[in-house]
Structures are given as structure tokens and as C-alpha cells.
Structure 1
Amino acid sequence: MSADTTDTTDTTNTTDTAESADTTAPPGTTDLIRFENVTKRYGDHTVLDDLCFSVRPGKHVTLIGPSGSGKTTILRLLMTLVKPDSGTIRVNGGQLYPAPESELREVRKDIGMVFQQFNLFPNMTVLRNITEAPVRVLGLSKDEAEARARELLDMVGLGDRCDAKPTQLSGGQQQRVAIARALAMRPKVLLLDEVTSALDPELVAGVLDVLRDIARTTDITMLCVTHEMNFARDVSDEVFMFDRGKVIESGPPERMFSAPDHERTREFLSAVL
């Protein structure tokens, strides 16, 4: 998974509008995810710059923007793979940062992630790849975990591959197993980090169809980093445009992809659409 920490994009035309983008929910609204003045640096490079944004329960939010703008770092912070240098992160009413390790582990149970690379255990069967965490982390019985895993494998079209090893599957099938594995933890938040970037083009559509079904049939909150703009248009309730560690504008996909307000957004979309 890329660290999303380098930025070679020309940002000379970016204005100070980033400072005023209002990405927090209205007063009185319950947020499932909330970043408050979060800053993350790698050495002298500031990846997230005093970032504030929020996501409400059940919403599907896509993060777009050039490489190095901070998108994947947001997912890594939520997965507790890295820590912010300052600021507060809250998930489902619990505090992720700053927080003691015990509280962090509890909040982390509400979050599932599907990575660019599939990260399956090659020595385990497909079924065990999915049941391992529910048994060890959630304390499910083996029978309950296996019943849940089989149901999820049926959902992603792999019900007949329970006993296969990951090396016996195509890349698209492995990614669908990874999606089922994330869902097996019954997360409230599903993070998707460029989940089709490692796939051959002919395998991309099948994986995106599975994610569309999840968005349509569940109430899971989805936070997605992708360059698949048609997918983002289809599934998103809101699209956030990132540049230089800030949200420079956000809005529904119809407006963001058809008539964005910010010149930097128009430049980015003209390059990727």
C-alpha cells in the first residue's frame, strides 16, 4: 500500500480556497467519523495540514485528488497504521486519537479495510482467511465464523472456493476474498484504498460490481480512495477533493464531476476523466 506521501503535482494554480472549504457536518448532527485539526508530517513534508472533515453514518464518501494530497494517509490513520502529529480523530463516538491503547483497540473493531494489495495469508484456505479475525478478535465460535464466511463468499460469488488457497485464485477473486474478510468483522466503516489498482483491467469490473452491491444493500459507511471516477460517481453520496493536505471542496458527485467550483478540481478531473 502506498504511503501517499509524495507530491509531484504542480499546485501553483491552487488558491487559498482550501482554507475555507466547509467539510464538517451541521451542528447537532452525529458524525460517524470526525477529524478535528489533524496534522500529519513525514519529516519536513506535511501530508495533512490541520485537516477538519466529517462523515455521517451510512454515507458513501469518495476521496479524490493527486498523489500525495493525503488521501491514503487518512485511511492509514483510521486503521491506526500511523499516528497523527496533532489533532483529534473520533469514530462511532469513541476517540481514536489521542487515546489509550485499550480504547484504541475497541474503536478499531468498528473499522474494516480493503487494501491495494490483497494481503491474504497464502498458507491458509479462503475460508480460514475470513474466519481467523472474527474468531481471534471478536471471540466468535468457529461454527459461527464459518457460517458468516460462507454467506459472505456466496455474496461475492466465491461460495465454491472455500477450500482453495489464495495462489489458486485470480487477482480479482483474491480481492473479492479480501472484501469478504473485511465484512466478516461487521464493521461500521469500510475503508477502500485503490482496491482495483493491482488488478488487470478485465478483472476490475467484477470487483467494482461487488462494491456497488455492498453500497446498495447495506448501511455500512464507506470511505473510498479511487481513481475509478465512474465508480465514484455511481456509489458516492459525497466527493471530497484533496490537494496539499486539505479538502479544497466537497459536494454531491453530480456537481463535483459536472460543475466543480474550484479550478484545481477542474484541472484534476480534466486529467483523469
Structure 2
Amino acid sequence: MSADTNPAQTIEDAAKTANPPVDGSELIRFDKVTKRFGDNTVLDGLDFSVDSGKHVTLIGPSGSGKTTILRLLMTLTRPDEGTIRVGGEYLTHEERDGRLVPAGEKHVREVRKNIGMVFQQFNLFPNMKVLRNLTEAPVTVLGMSRDAAEERARELLELVGLTEHLDKYPSQLSGGQQQRVAIARALAMRPQVLLLDEVTSALDPELVAGVLDVLRDIARTTDITMLCVTHEMNFARDISDQVLMFDSGRVIEAGPPERIFGDPEHDRTREFLSAVL
């Protein structure tokens, strides 16, 4: 970042390119969603919603179903029962002749393009340099011109503080740098919602703060909807509009972070927080 660049202004400018405006209406709706893996019921008749522009964090013990929610939204797996809607459109179902049927791949792709995800493992294309990692999907999926995609990519790399690394391969970057590239790549698709799945869990401790700072800036300066799974409780407290406590595939408590972290109502929530704070 150059000496005469205002970081806050850079983030605001990039944010305008990164995601569309929101109106506060319901963006995501899980309706009686059940997901099983063999005999294990990971999600059990789950009902919850997320409004556009809100930052919602999912907390709870490992195995409580949090990551499965993100994988369902990315259609990496599909629900056994119930429905999911994104922006008013069914995600894995579609209406035909007045009834709901499993959606075809074209319908799924159209709805899913509004969703971006940053994984625990960075999942960058190892054979592509940083700049192309950001431009490949906007060009091939969204049909953007190469010039427009590169302009947006440069803005986003400025946002995450990696402009000087755009000609490097992922293997030439640290883990923290790779994760920041992954965040920028997700934003390059202009998603309505950004899913964050334990994005610091694969990082060395000294690299965690830099990645969380980038996400705090995005949460503070953009309207993008965020659905976050994390064990970083201070980060969850900082960025969340709402916190959902999960246990055994259900939401057992929900509320603003100051109440969930300061005065939880459920014994299981208090037990969990006492172990992780």
C-alpha cells in the first residue's frame, strides 16, 4: 500500500466494487432442514434465517452442525429434508407444475453464484498466479471482460494488503497471505453473502491477527452479508450482529453478541463459553 493511500478509503472504494447494495430483507432461510450422515443426524429440523447486510456468527462445540450449514449453502452436500432459500429462490429445489422437485444443476448454479465461501484450507489454484486466481471465475462464470476483472482484482488485493504479490504463485506466499488471497477471491465474484468456515484454524498463531483484521475491515466498511463459523470468540463479539449457539444440530440460543457473551440464558451456552473464553 503506497504511503499516500488512505487505507479506510481504499477499503470503502473496493467494497463498492466487491458486493452489491442490500435492503435488509431476508436473504437466507432454512426451513425444517435435516441432514444425516449415516446414522448421525447432524442437523435436526433446523429453522433459521439471515437478513441481508447482517453478520451472523455460528458458535458451538465441534460436531454441532455449524460447518454443515455452510456446506449446504455451497451445495457441497444437500439436505435430506427441508428447504433452503437464498434471495427468495430455492437453492436445491425448484417449482415445477406447482410442486417442489430437486433442482437441476443450472438452477443451482444460478442461485449459488450469489454466495462466496472462504474455507479452512485456502483452496487456491496452485498453477495460477495470485492475479489470475482472482480473475478466473469472474471471467469464466460471470462473463466479465479480462480488463474489468483485473481492475477489480487489483482493488481487492489492495483491500487485503497484497498488491505487491499479484505476480506470485500461492506456494510463494505465507499461510496468512494465502488466506487473504482466498478472501479477495471470494469477494471478486460480488457475492451477496460471504461464508467463513474457521478461516484461521489452519494458520500459525502469529498469522491469525492479520487475517482477522482484514475481515473486521470488510465487516465494518461493506454491506456484504456474512455467515461465520469460528472459535475466535473475540472476533465473533466484534463483528456480529447476531450470534447463534448450536448444539446437537439445533440452535439452542440466539441473540446479540453482548447478551450471548455477557449474559447467556442457556446452561449449555454458559458451559461452552466457559471452556473457550
With the length of structure 2 as denominator, give the TM-score of the two structures: 0.87
Secondary structure of 1:32's counterpart equals strand
Identity of aligned residues (%): 79
Q: Distance in 1 between matches of 2:222 and 2:88?
A: 21
Matches within 5 A, 1:21-36: 30-36=25-31
Matches within 5 A, 1:50-129: 50-98=45-93, 99-129=103-133
Secondary structure of 1:160's counterpart equals helix
Give, in angstroms, the shift of residue 94 of structure 1: 1.1
Matches within 5 A, 1:8-47: 30-47=25-42
Q: Which residue of 2 aligns with 1:221?
A: 225
Q: Is the 8 A contact 2:27 2:50 kept in 1?
A: yes
Give, in angstroms, the shift of residue 93 of structure 1: 1.4
Q: Distance in 2 between matches of 1:62 and 1:35?
A: 15
Kindly provide the amino acid, as one letter, of the partner of residue 132 in structure 1.
Answer: E
The Cα offsets for residues 112-152 of structure 1, whole Å up to 9 and x where unpaired, read as 00000000111110000110100110000111111110010
The Cα offsets for residues 182-204 of structure 1, whole Å up to 9 and x where unpaired, read as 00000000000000000000100
Q: Distance in 2 between matches of 1:46 and 1:162?
A: 43
The Cα offsets for residues 192-248 of structure 1, whole Å up to 9 and x where unpaired, read as 000000000010000000000000111000000000000000000000000000000
Q: Which residue of 1 aligns with 2:193?
A: 189
Give, in angstroms, the shift of residue 102 of structure 1: 1.7
Q: Distance in 2 between matches of 1:65 and 1:100?
A: 33
Give, in angstroms, the shift of residue 97 of structure 1: 2.3
Give, in angstroms, the shift of residue 104 of structure 1: 1.1
Give, in angstroms, the shift of residue 30 of structure 1: 3.3
Q: Distance in 2 between matches of 1:184 and 1:77?
A: 21
Give, in angstroms, the shift of residue 101 of structure 1: 2.0
Q: Distance in 2 between matches of 1:261 and 1:102?
A: 44
Q: Distance in 1 between matches of 2:115 and 2:274?
A: 33
Give, in angstroms, the shift of residue 168 of structure 1: 0.6
Q: Which residue of 1 aligns with 2:21?
A: none
Query: What is the number of residues matched between the two proteins?
Result: 245
Q: Distance in 2 between matches of 1:45 and 1:196?
A: 27
Give 4+ residue runs of structure 1 displaced > 4 Å after superposition. Answer: none
Q: Is the 8 A contact 2:30 2:48 kept in 1?
A: yes
The Cα offsets for residues 15-71 of structure 1, whole Å up to 9 and x where unpaired, read as xxxxxxxxxxxxxx8310000000000000000000000000100000000011000
Matches within 5 A, 1:123-138: 123-138=127-142
Matches within 5 A, 1:149-164: 149-164=153-168
Q: Distance in 1 between matches of 2:252 and 2:140?
A: 41
Given candidates 249, 252, 258, the residue that maps to 1:254 is 258
Q: Which residue of 2 aligns with 1:15?
A: none
Q: Distance in 1 between matches of 2:25 and 2:225?
A: 13
Kindly provide the amino acid, as one letter, of the partner of residue 89 in structure 2.
Answer: G
Q: Distance in 2 between matches of 1:262 and 1:185?
A: 39
Q: Distance in 1 between matches of 2:122 and 2:40?
A: 29
Kindly provide the amino acid, as one letter, of the partner of residue 42 in structure 1.
Answer: F
Kindly provide the amino acid, as one letter, of the partner of residue 67 in structure 2.
Answer: T
The runs of 5 or more residues in structure 1 that have no matched partner are: 1-28
